[in-house]
Amino acid sequence: MTRSVHVGILVLAAVLLSGCGTDGSAGAVVGGPATSPGATAGPPDTADPATPPVPAPGDFAPPPAEGPVAGQGTVLQIGDAPPQLCLGGVAESYPPQCSGPEVAGWDWGLAQQAERASGVTWGAYAVTGTWDGSAFTRTGIPVPLSLYDALPFEDPLAGRQGTTDQQELDRILTEVYAGHEGYAVTAGMDRGFVSLTVVYDDGSFQTRMDAEYGPDVVVVQSALRPAT
């Protein structure tokens, strides 16, 4: 059974306190099992000197993109605060609520179909720009998603079925998301794998997950992709 979890659903835990809703994505909320947020597997008692140690979550810095990237999501700005690019779930309040990396160089004058309410401005767009590892800088004209042909879906599993125990997948799912909150966009389980979408990955985060949990356990996808 496939289960998917959106970051917006997790953010909703706080949003619900103010009576806000979320999107209709199916799935179980990460964080249900009793685990230690941010915990990582420690080094074995007898380490292979040829195997480099696995860094702790705090040692990881999201990689920058070498060239222009494209993504789809909601751009939301509260008052005069910097706009954010929400690549995950959005709470269905009015105005909506979501979070993501800051967007530099944003110009609402170039963004069609923007909405405004209660000091919040937002809209759903396909955007192109650059990614430095912490912030997105707009370089192209944003295109409303209502006028945009969505990026083609590519199955990262390529028909594979994972073999990791369900209880272990639950543990890893919670651990990975809690340890990389803000960088992780969506997290869930799909066909026996932990499926994780991050803001941007050049392959280094997938390598990290393989080193920490073993190959074919965590499958990483990048929300921002090289622009064509």
pLDDT tier for residue 158 given thresholds of 50, 70 and 90:
confident
Per-position DSSP letters for the chain, written without gaps between them = --B--BHHHHHHHHHGGGT-------SPPTT-S---TT--PPPPSS--TTSPPPPPGGG--PPPPSS-EEEEEEEEEETTSPPEEE-S--B-SSS-B----EEES--GGG-TT-EEETTEEEEEEEEEEEE-SSEEEE-S--EEGGGSPPPPP--TTTT----S-HHHHHHHHHHHHHHTBTTEEEEEEETTEEEEEES--SSHHHHHHHHHH-TTTEEEEESSEE--
**pLDDT score for 215:** 94
Which tens digit of pLDDT belongs to each residue from 34-82?
A: 223 333 332 233 334 343 344 444 578 999 999 999 999 999 999 999 9
pLDDT for 182 beyond 50: yes
- Ordered by start, the domain boundaries in the chain are 69-147
pLDDT band with cut points at 50, 70 and 90 for residue 149: confident
Mean of the per-residue pLDDT values of the chain: 80
